[in-house]
Amino acid sequence: MRITNLIDKKKSNIELTSEEIKWLVDSYTNGLIPDYQMSAFLMAVNFNGLSDDETYNLTMAMRDSGDILDLSAIDGIKVDKHSSGGVGDKVTLILLGIIGALDVPFAKMSGRGLGHTGGTIDKLESIPGFSSELSEEEFIDNVNSVNVAIASQTADLAPADKKLYALRDVTCTVDETSLIASSIMSKKLASGCDAIVLDVTLGSGAFMHDIDEARRLATKMVNIGKKCGKKTIAVITNMDEPLGTCVGNAIEVAEAVRSLKGYGPGDLMEVVYTLGANMLIAAGKVDNEGKARILMDTAISNGSAYNKFLEMVNKQGGDISYVKNYDSLINASIIREVKAEESGFVHSIDAHLIGETVRMLGGGRSSLEDDIDVSVGMVVNKKVADSVKTGQIIAFVYGNDEEKVDEAYKNILKAYTIKDERIDKPKMILDIIR
C-alpha cells in the first residue's frame, strides 16, 4: 500500500477499506508515514468526513495500536465516563466521590488539558503529593479497595490516538466529528470498562458548535460502543459559558470539594447529576433517574461522597489536609477584581476566550511538554442571565504575573456580552442519545 494512494482516495471521497485504515494507523504509529503526509490525509478527512464503517475501522485500529486493559479482576459492572472537553469542567472530580460512595466501581483513565480545555489529571495534581501514574496492578487494586481510582492515560493505551491527536491539534483538524468519535472511543474501549457514559459538550467552550453536529458525534460514538458490545449513552450538555464558577486547576479542585460538601453551583450539579444518574443506571444500581438522584443527593448530604474523595486522594498519595482546607490550594500572588463597564443582564460569556485566557495565565499548555502553573485561574462571579450593574465585580483573575493579569482583565471584559433585556438561565441538558 502507498500513503499517496490513500490520501488521493480520501481527497476524491472514496471509502477506504478496513485493511487500508489499519495499515495507515499502524504505519503512522510506527513512524513509517511522516507527519506531513498524515496531515494531508487528516485535512482530506476534515473536508470529506468518514463513513460509519470507516469511523468504526479507525476506532478499532487505534484501540488495537497498544495495550487493552483487563479489568476483569474488579467485580461488578465497570462504568467509564468521558467528556469531549470544556472550560471549568470538574464533573469527573465530583463523580469520583459520588459514584465511589455508592459502591459502583469507577476506574477512570483521564487525560491532561490541551488547547483551551482543561484536564482532570492536571487539576488533581494541584493537590501536593497526588499521583496519577499508577501501574495497571495499582489501578485495579485501588478500585478493589476504595472503589475509585484515576490514572493518566499511559503511553501504551491507544498510542495511535495520542500521536494523531497531537498532530490534529497543530493542523486544525481536531473538530471533525468522525475524528473526535474515533479518538474518544478508541481510548474508552482500550481502558477495559463495561459501560460508557459520554458527555458531548456543545457551545463556545466546546469543539461542537451546533446541536445537529453534536447529535451526529453522539450517535457515532454510541453506535461504535454498541457495536463493541458496550452499553453506551451520550448526554449532550451546554458548554456555552464556563461550567460552574471556577476555571483553572487548583481553583477547580476547590470548587469540586465545595460541591461534594453540598455547595455546588446549579449548572454544574445538573450536569453532574445527569451523567451520574446514567452511570448508576448503566451499572445496574438503579433503574431510573429519579432513584439515582435520591442516592446521589444522600451521598452528598451524609458526607460519604466527600469522604470517598478524601479516601481516593489519600490512596493516591495526595495530602488530604489541602482538600480539607481547600482554600490553601489557591495561592496565586495576584487576585484582581474585574468590574462591569455597563449595566444590564449577562447574555453570554465566551467560554473559549476564558479557556484561552487561563491558558495564557499559565494554567494550560500550548504543547504537551509545557509545565503548567496550577495556582492561576479565574472565578466567574456573574453567570449568563444574572443582572449586573456598572462597577460590580463580574470576575476575579488569579495570576502570578502583572502583565498577564492585565491581559486577562481585558479578555474577560471582551468575553462578557451584557445587554438590557432580561434572559432565562440556559438549559444544561440538551439531549440524550442511547
Site size toward ligand URA (CB under 6 A) is 9
Minimum CB–partner distance for residue 358 and ligand URA (Å): 18
Q: What interhelical angle do 35-48 and 3-11 show, nearest 10?
A: 20
Given the complex with ligand URA, which of 186 and 375 has the nearer CB atom? 186
Minimum CB–partner distance for residue 223 and ligand URA (Å): 17
Which one of 29, 46, 57, 84 is in contact with ligand URA (CB under 6 A)?
84
Q: x/- string (CB under 6 A) for ligand URA, residues 133-172?
A: --------------------------------x-------
**For ligand URA, which stretch binds (CB under 6 A), given 140-148, 177-185, 193-201, 415-423?**
177-185
Given the complex with ligand URA, which of 185 and 376 has the nearer CB atom? 185
Q: x/- string (CB under 6 A) for ligand URA, residues 35-64?
A: ------------------------------
For the record, the C-alpha cell of 200 comes out as: 458531548
**For ligand URA, which stretch binds (CB under 6 A), given 14-22, 102-110, 178-186, 387-395?**
178-186
Minimum CB–partner distance for residue 165 and ligand URA (Å): 6
Q: What's the burial of 26, exposed, middle or buried (CB within 10 Å: 0-12/13-18/19+)?
A: middle
**For ligand URA, which stretch binds (CB under 6 A), given 175-183, 192-200, 256-264, 388-396?**
175-183
Given the complex with ligand URA, which of 183 and 204 has the nearer CB atom? 183
Report how far residue 132's alpha carbon sits from residue 108's, in angstroms, rounded to the nearest whole number: 10
Report how far residue 278's alpha carbon sits from residue 256's, in angstroms, rounded to the nearest whole number: 20
For the record, the C-alpha cell of 357 comes out as: 485566557
Residues 6+ apart with CB under 8 A from 344: 387, 388, 418, 419, 420, 421
State the distance between the two ends of the chain, measured CA to CA, in whole angstroms: 38
Q: What are phi and psi of 412, to 5 degrees?
A: -65, -40
Bridge partners of 79? 195
The answer to whether 157 and 190 are in contact (CB under 8 A) is: yes
- Residue 183 contacts ligand URA per CB under 6 A: yes
Report how far residue 105's alpha carbon sits from residue 173's, in angstroms, rounded to the nearest whole number: 35
Given the complex with ligand URA, which of 207 and 306 has the nearer CB atom? 207
Q: Cite the active site residues.
A: 82, 161, 168, 183, 187
Residues 202-261 binding ligand URA (CB under 6 A) are 207
Q: Nearest 5 degrees, angle CA 246-CA 411-CA 199?
A: 45
Minimum CB–partner distance for residue 419 and ligand URA (Å): 32
Minimum CB–partner distance for residue 184 and ligand URA (Å): 5
The answer to whether 24 and 60 are in contact (CB under 8 A) is: no
**For ligand URA, which stretch binds (CB under 6 A), given 127-135, 174-182, 256-264, 321-329?**
174-182
Residues 6+ apart with CB under 8 A from 302: none
The answer to whether 118 and 295 are in contact (CB under 8 A) is: no
**For ligand URA, which stretch binds (CB under 6 A), given 96-104, 176-184, 313-321, 368-376?**
176-184
Bridge partners of 232? 196
Closest residue to ligand URA, judged by C-beta, is 183
Minimum CB–partner distance for residue 174 and ligand URA (Å): 6
Given the complex with ligand URA, which of 162 and 383 has the nearer CB atom? 162
3-state SS assignment for residue 245: coil
Sheet containing 246-248, strands listed edge to edge, beginning at the edge strand earlier in sequence: 246-248, 377-380, 393-399, 334-339
Given the complex with ligand URA, which of 127 and 180 has the nearer CB atom? 180
Looking up cell 444500581 gives 285
Which one of 66, 85, 203, 355 is in contact with ligand URA (CB under 6 A)?
85
- Residue 195 contacts ligand URA per CB under 6 A: no
* Integer CA distances (angstroms), 256 to 28, 89, 166, in order: 39, 10, 29
- Residue 102 contacts ligand URA per CB under 6 A: no
Minimum CB–partner distance for residue 42 and ligand URA (Å): 11
Residues 6+ apart with CB under 8 A from 348: 204, 240, 241, 384, 416, 417
- Residue 180 contacts ligand URA per CB under 6 A: yes
- Residue 184 contacts ligand URA per CB under 6 A: yes
Bridge partners of 195? 79, 231
**For ligand URA, which stretch binds (CB under 6 A), given 180-188, 288-296, 299-307, 379-387?**
180-188
- Chain positions contacting ligand URA, by CB under 6 A: 84-85, 165, 174, 179-180, 183-184, 207
